[in-house]
Structure 1
Amino acid sequence: MKLIYQQMLAFFILIMTLLLILGFSFFHITREVIYENTWQQLEGYAYSLKNQSMMIQTRKGKQVLTLNVDKLRTSEVLLSNQQVRFTIYTSRNDTLYPKKGYKSAISAKDWKKLEKGKILRRKSDLGWRGPDKQNVQNQQRMTDILAPCFDSSGKLVAVISVGAKVSSIQESFTKIQKNLFYVLLISALLGMLISYFLAHYITKRISKLRKVTRAVANGNFDVKVIDNRRDELDDLAKDFNKMTVSLKKSNEEIRLQEQRRRQFMADAAHEMRTPLTTINGLLEGLVYDAIPEEDKDKSIKLMRNETKRLIRLVNENLDYEKIRSGQIDLRQSSFNGMDVLRNVQEQLRKKADNSGNKLEVNGPQKLEVYADYDRFVQIIFNITQNAIQFTENGTITISAERGHRCSIFRISDDGMGMSDEQLKNIWERYYKADPSRKNTKYGESGLGLSIVQQLMELHKGKVEVTSKLGLGTTFTLIFPDKR
């Protein structure tokens, strides 16, 4: 049995149990109310008989109970139409009226209670009509009350018993019980039908979710669940649709990253093979004395440059992995950012001259920035070097200014610029805006800007880029002040 059906069955059993408890309680309370109302009605009849048909007279110094027989007979006829009987006792076994009417036994214990003025109420009392107690046809089971009557001295002179047939009350109980049974039966049937259809409806909706879940598990991220925005299952469907969109994006990202990784491995292998081949050839030439003496210094310098190129390629990958895995701890402090800009200008001036570029620095003499010094240098160096790489015979400008509780740096060039599609992907690792330049001397790995973005996030800073194809690019770096 499916879980939802089990829950519905348990819920149905719980409801039916509550209904049975409530039904039993209702029947019990109703039964008590009927008895209470019957006793109150019988007491009213008893007091009416006492006041209208019974008198205590004084004869020869004694108080004598006298009855108005005509009124008693009239009352007897009227009450008999309502299946009510009454008997007047003078003692436990002696009846004053009627002589041959209904008579029930009164115990000595009950008589003592009557002598104390207590009205007795009995739910079921077996009495008889006539002298023959053994005749079953003469026996009747009654619900009655016993009301005492006293003279002026407080002596018990009579007891009025007024009773109604138990069968009459039992009929009311039976009707109530039957109606209650029918109500419970109809409620149970309706509850079962409603529970089944609800369980079937919910199970059907869950089955749809299971179906699309299997499709997602098999790699189909284009499935969608209908969301009617009605209940929690629709909320689940909404979250599921968001999940499939997210998984699709993640899957595309993984595929793209894998494609870029493979391209990077191919590029890295190519970039490493070229300097390694150069270094190996030069070393063999030196070993076998195949290089003229006047060219040895030039060969050694070339090997050094190629070695630095390999180190730069390896370091960029190591840096990115350390930053991405959170292994770098920033050591932030306040220093003059303008000094860094001028140092970077000097370091890259030769590279800019080789591309016919002019490298300028604009800003105040001193501009305090709160950052990790080494990482700040790395950020400025990477972006400036990137600008030099994609600019020929142009101008690269590094400017700085003070912002509101922050330091702002801009690196602008008038180079080849980028399209909107390129601009959207420049922060992705292994991405190169211009694949034709993958074999250039600088920016071999495609990780420079990814490292910049990660470092700016570690500084709680912000990096923005604007670019137009053929007109140039501007990077804006915002470093917040110490808090």
Structure 2
Amino acid sequence: MKLIYQQMIGMLTTIIVSLLVVAALFIHATTAAAWENNFRQLSNYTSNLEQNALLNKSTINGDFIQTSERVLSGQHVNFVIYNANNQMRYPAVAGGRIQSKYWRQLKRGDSVAVKAATTNPRNGRTQSITIFYRPVFYSGKLLYVIAAYEPVEAIQSTISKTKRSVLIGFIISAAVALILSYIIARYTNRRIDRLRTATHEVAQGNYDVKLETTGRDEISELASDFSNMTDSLKASEKEIQRQEDRRRQFMADAAHEMRTPLTTINGLLEGLAYDAIPEESKAKSIELMQNETKRLIRIVNENLDYEKIRTNQIILQRQTFNAKHDIDNVALQLHQKAVDAGDEISVDVPDDLMVYADHDRFVQIIFNIMQNAIQFTQNGHIRVTGQHGYQQAEFSISDDGIGMSPDQVQNIWERYYKADPSRKNTKYGESGLGLAIVHQLVAQHGGTIDVQSELGAGTTFHITFPDEQTPDDDQSHDQTA
């Protein structure tokens, strides 16, 4: 069964059950009110007779009773008066007696209301009437019993009209409920259909589907969650495509990086094998093959090193040492490369700046970033600064070289990514792995590294290394928190 019909049946069932309960309660209340009103009227009539028709202990004003019956003839109300011996005194005809069960109540001083098929005390015929008995006492003794009776046809007619009106109202309400339930169910079903259509679109690979989320009900929340899901899927698809592009680029770059030294070595070996290389150049050729072999080994080792760092397979031997000394050594090692590029290196690090890190990996991080700055800066200035921040050592390495665009900044941590593809073969053997390794090493130290760069205006790397945490530091941090 379709959802729209399920919703309609559910709503109609609820509405119809509610209407039936209300109708039953209304009919019951109306019927009870009709009977109560009837007995109240009969009680008032008997009270009036008690005051005006009973003149004394032995005299009954029959004229007043007859006048009252004529006035109430439209309601078919009649009166009967019984004496203390349960004998009819008015009208002066032989008539029935009050049933013993009612007579006992009357003798106790209780008024009695009866509605049933009973014997008419005036004519002795059995018919449906309502009777109200009122006992009249004098000096504590039962003197008379005044009975007022009325046929139930008028009351039943009123009750029947009420039931008929309720039935008509029920039918109209059910019809209106049917129409409204269809409209509401159709509206809800259309919203679900739009969601289903959007799901089919997503299944076909279309992640640009948008749904209205203006409401505050569960379907609107589901539509909002669906929109968030499509946005995530769209972002994931872009990321998957980017990673696939990077994978292809990585395979191409890796093959290129390895093919270049292999091609050089193969060409030199062929030249040596066929004596195509002059004797005086053989030593140079062998040296070149050794350099290319070392370069190839370095590329392989860097790839292995990167994977070990990325998968946390290396163990850092962290210790606290003086950062100034090692940074000066790195600057000294790169001095000649900087001179060849026309660059100047300046180090502004406090003599007592201590850093908690793996010594060799710290040197590797600083070396790679400074070397990268030299490679992309000509006739410029490389600045290395350091300071001790809050529970961490902070370093900045900046240059005024060619800089990078935002897209280049986003991808510099990828393996084999090179901000300047034209510099794939420099005399420094750039492989595109240095910054990827640096990023992983800093992360494994629990530190941070970020880069700020502007195309044509230079680049600045900011690196932090957290201090060693002692038990006292942990307690102090907890108290501060």
Same fold (TM over 0.5): yes
CA distance in 2, matches of 1:431, 1:469: 17
Tell me the equivalent position of 1:88: 81
Residue number in structure 2 paired with 1:148 = 135
Query: Per the alignment, in what secondary structure is the counterpart of residue 145 of structure 1?
Result: strand
Report Cα offsets for 1:126-156 as digits up to 9, x if no partner.
22265554xxxxx43112222112221x222
Say whether residues 1:171 and 2:153 are aligned partners.
no
C-alpha distance in structure 1 between counterparts of 2:221 and 2:36, whole Å: 56
Matched, 1:126 2:118: yes
* In structure 1, C-alpha distance between the alignment counterparts of 2:340 and 2:7, rounded to whole Å: 78
**Unmatched tracts of structure 1, length 5 or more:** 58-64, 134-138
Trace 1:54-453 onto structure 2 (pairs within 5 A).
Answer: 54-57=54-57, 65-90=58-83, 94-99=87-92, 106-128=98-120, 130-131=122-123, 133=125, 139-152=126-139, 154-229=140-215, 231-276=217-262, 303-320=293-310, 322=311, 336-346=322-332, 348-349=334-335, 351-353=337-339, 355-369=341-355, 376-377=362-363, 379-403=365-389, 406-427=392-413, 431-440=417-426, 441-445=428-432, 448-450=434-436, 452=438
Q: 1:124 and 1:403, CA in 2 relative to 1: closer, same or farther beyond 3 A?
A: same
Q: Whole-Å Cα distance in 2 between the matches of residues 37 and 374 of structure 1?
A: 106
TM-score by length of 2: 0.82
Could you tell me which runs of 5 or more consecutive residues in structure 2 were left unpaired when the two chains were aligned.
Answer: 470-476
Query: Mapping of 1:1-16 within 5 angstroms?
Result: 1-16=1-16
Amino acid corresponding to residue 138 of structure 2 in structure 1 = D
**Rounded Cα–Cα distance in structure 2 between residues aligned with 1:422 and 1:409:** 22
Distance 1:336 1:73 in 2: 129
Distance in 1 between residues matched to 2:131 and 2:410, nearest whole Å: 97
Letter in 2 for 1:23: A
Give the letter for the 2:105 counterpart.
K
With over 3 angstroms needed to count, the CA separation of the structure-2 counterparts of 1:89 and 1:335, relative to structure 1, is farther
Name the structure 2 match of 1:136: none
Structure 1 residue 283, shift from structure 2 partner: 9.4
Count of matched residue positions in the alignment of Structure 1 and Structure 2: 464
Q: Does 1:50 align with 2:40?
A: no
Q: Which amino acid aligns with 1:17?
A: V
Contact 2:84/2:142 (<8 A) preserved: no
Contact 1:87 1:95 in 2 (8 A): yes
- CA-atom RMSD in angstroms: 3.7
Report the AA paired with residue 89 of structure 1: Y
Partner of 1:141, secondary structure, is strand
In structure 2, distance between residues paired with 1:457 and 1:79: 105
Give how far 1:238 is off: 4.0
What CA distance in whole angstroms lies between the structure 2 residues aligned with 1:388 and 1:13? 81
Task: Note closer, same or farther for the CA distance 1:89–1:333 as it changes in structure 2 (3 Å cut).
Answer: farther
Structure 2 Cα separation of the partners of residues 427 and 304 of structure 1:
24
CA contact (8 A) 1:227 1:235 kept: yes
* Counterpart residue type for residue 81 of structure 1: G
Aligned-partner Cα distance in 2 for 1:329–1:107: 110
- Matched position secondary structure for 1:66: coil
Percent identity over the alignment is 45
1:274-300 per-position Cα deviation (integer Å, ceiling 9, x unaligned): 445667889999999999789878865
- Change in 2 beyond 3 A, CA 1:248/1:116: same
**Are the equivalent residues in 2 in contact too, given 1:267–1:438 (CA < 8 A)?**
no
Indicate the larger mover: 106-115 or 227-236.
227-236
Change in 2 beyond 3 A, CA 1:220/1:132: closer
- The 3 A distance-change label for structure 1 pair 164 and 330 is farther
**In structure 1, what is the Cα distance between the partners aligned to 2:7 and 2:365?**
60
Distance 1:3 1:318, change over 3 A: farther
Report if aligned partners of 1:56, 1:151 keep a CA contact under 8 Å in 2: no
| Alpha-carbon spacing, 1:461–1:309, altered in 2? closer, same or farther (3 Å) | closer
TM-score normalised per structure 1: 0.82
CA contact (8 A) 2:65 2:79 kept: no
Superimposed CA distance per residue, residues 245-268 of structure 1 (whole angstroms, 9 cap, x where no aligned partner): 332232122212211210111111
Residue 81 of structure 1 aligns to a residue whose secondary structure is: helix
Once the 2 structures are TM-superposed, how far is the Cα of residue 114 of structure 1 from its aligned partner? Answer: 1.3
Give the superposition deviation at 1:56: 3.8
Look up the match of 1:32: 32
Change (3 A) 1:256 1:203: same
CA distance in structure 2 between the aligned counterparts of 1:459 and 1:47, rounded to whole angstroms = 105
Contact 1:466–1:475 under 8 Å retained in 2: yes
Counterpart of 1:219 in 2: which secondary structure?
coil
Return the offset for 1:231.
4.9
User: Kindly tell me: are residues 405 and 82 of structure 1, through their superposed partners in 2, closer, same or farther at Cα, counting changes over 3 Å?
Assistant: farther
Report if aligned partners of 1:120, 1:146 keep a CA contact under 8 Å in 2: yes
Q: Secondary structure at the match of 2:304?
A: helix
Q: Deviations along 1:37-61, whole A, 9 cap, x unmatched?
A: 322222222122112211444xxxx
Deviation of residue 193 (structure 1)? Answer: 0.8
The correspondence of residues 457-476 of structure 1 with structure 2, limited to 5 A, is 462-476=448-462
Letter in 1 for 2:401: G
- Give the SS at the match of 2:75: coil
Contact 1:338 1:367 in 2 (8 A): yes
